[in-house]
Amino acid sequence: MKRALVSVSDKTNLVSFVKGLAANGYEIVSTGGTKKVLDDAGISTISIEDVTHFPEILDGRVKTLNPYVHGGLLARRELPEHMATLKKLNITPIDLVCVNLYPFKETIEKPGVKLADAIENIDIGGPSMVRSAAKNYRDVTVVVDQADYDTVLGEIKDGGDTTLDTRAKLAAKAFRHTAAYDALISQYLTKQVGLEDPEQLTMTWDLKETMRYGENSHQKAWLYEDALPKSYSVLSAKQLHGKKLSYNNIKDADEALRCIREFDEPTVVAMKHMNPCGIGRGETLEQAWDRAYTADPVSIFGGVIALNRRVDLATAQKMHKIFLEIVIAPGFDDDAYAILAKKKNIRLLSLDFSKKDEPARHELVTVMGGALMQEQDTLKEDYHDWKCVTDVQPTEEQLKNLMFAWKAVKHAKSNAIVLANDERTLGVGEGQPNRIDSLKIAVKHAGDAIDDRTVMASDAFFPFGDCVEYAGKHGIKAVVQPGGSIRDQESIDMANKYGIAMVTTGIRHFRH
């Protein structure tokens, strides 16, 4: 008779699985709450204490860490000396292990969880059994996922045992399972002790979707989600309409959400190829849409739109007139949804914006052979902290406009220049090898919209005075930039020459 050891925290579909094992000649060894569930279901079980000849101790902290368990798991059946040892010590081989672990993840996700509660939900015996069984997969079947119950039972019914190929796949999954479990524990405890640069970085994600393709159609792609999902994320959004998001859709939507969270007043962000092509704000969402659209009516076609208010009918009617890839907002009025959903190819997503200011986690970017990790750029700034470096002082209205432009330029790719007024971005120049070319693009986009209200934001300092000179010649009256160049004085002198008010922040916002 074969032997199965069953000890699970999540008991979903457990009874039917174990009944199937018993019906196919397995005797069942079980522990604690699992044994009680199986006994109540009328399944004959052997207590773990009857196997180990030792009681559970330390409030259940020690119950399966025993040679009678691990000897039965790790013995290689093809080695006569291993089997002789089992016989000599009266250890029964264990042929199948079904284990899932203490709910550590679910515990630390609870609001206000205490460290002591998290510690008590670190499983020790479970991962040990899983690893022993997985190491000896040539002889032992290890099951850590309920999704595999039917496959395992089917093969046992058909052939008396699982196939070696299946056992190998289950073993690999088992090691992924314990590795992910340990990664969460290490992340949690590392955070508890306040260490920012551990000598080893252990992180884990769960497969959310196999995508049709990646950045281009010839590239395979997969979407993974943080094992501790973030509420304010495109991955947490509810898709109400349209086909699945593509690889590029997700990147654009992520950038749109990063940008829109900067603003509290009714605001619309139009994102194209991970750059804002238009940002508008107003007293109403419709007014904000009008201004975002006017900012760049060409580039917005096929764009990703983020709105920080529930979409109403008036705004939806205007958005419906052009092709948009994605609209993401806190929600949609019924009539607004009805008109937008008439277009088959638009994706409509709703997301809880109340979580936009939750603490940001570190972000990871891969490079060939490694990864870069940094804090997200979520710095909150106050224009009252800025320093005026010119003869002309900015007005309060100009400072407010400069703050709007400063928030916008933070989300354009470097070298980034944004021209704006109190209503919208007028021109955005980004991603150029030099700053003056970005400024020229921004001025070209702004065109005749430049007037006395127009301000300019630069994501990094001016290396020369040419940008300020160009801005002055095109009627720009106020500038915000980080400062810090060894040639800052050239730019200050140029601003004074053209009567420009210029403030420095001491902070730059590169986005490569």
Q: Is 332 helix (H, G, I), strand (E, B) or coil?
A: strand
176 contacts: CB under 8 Å, gap ≥ 6: none
Length, in residues, of the chain: 512
Beta bridge partners of 207: 224
Measured distance CA(65)–CA(43) in Å, rounded: 25
**Pairing outcome for strands 26-30 and 2-8:** parallel
Q: Is 385 exposed, middle or buried (0-12, 13-18, 19+ CB in 10 A)?
A: exposed
Measured distance CA(275)–CA(430) in Å, rounded: 8
Measured distance CA(74)–CA(139) in Å, rounded: 9
C-alpha atoms less than 13 angstroms from C-alpha of 250 in its C-beta half-sphere: 22
- Burial readout 441-480 (b: 16 or more C-beta within 10 A, e: otherwise): bbbebbeebbeebbbbbbbbbbbebbbbbbbbebebbbbb
Q: What is the DSSP letter of 463?
A: S
* Ramachandran angles phi, psi of 31, nearest 5°: -130, 150
Radius of gyration, CA atoms only, the chain: 30
Return the structure tokens found at 165. 């190929």
Which one of the listed residues 19, 82, 105, 135 is annotated catalytic? 135
How far is C-alpha 228 from the chain's CA centre? 9
SS (H, E, C) 53-67: CCCCECCCCECCCCH
Which one of the listed residues 169, 273, 320, 400 is annotated catalytic? 273
Backbone dihedral region of 484: left (phi > 0), alpha (psi from -120 to 50 degrees) or beta? left
512 is catalytic: no
**Helical H segments across 4-79, by residue range:** 14-23, 32-40, 48-52, 67-74
Can you list the positions of beta strands (E) in 391-485? 417-420, 425-429, 455-458, 478-481
Active site residues: 135, 273
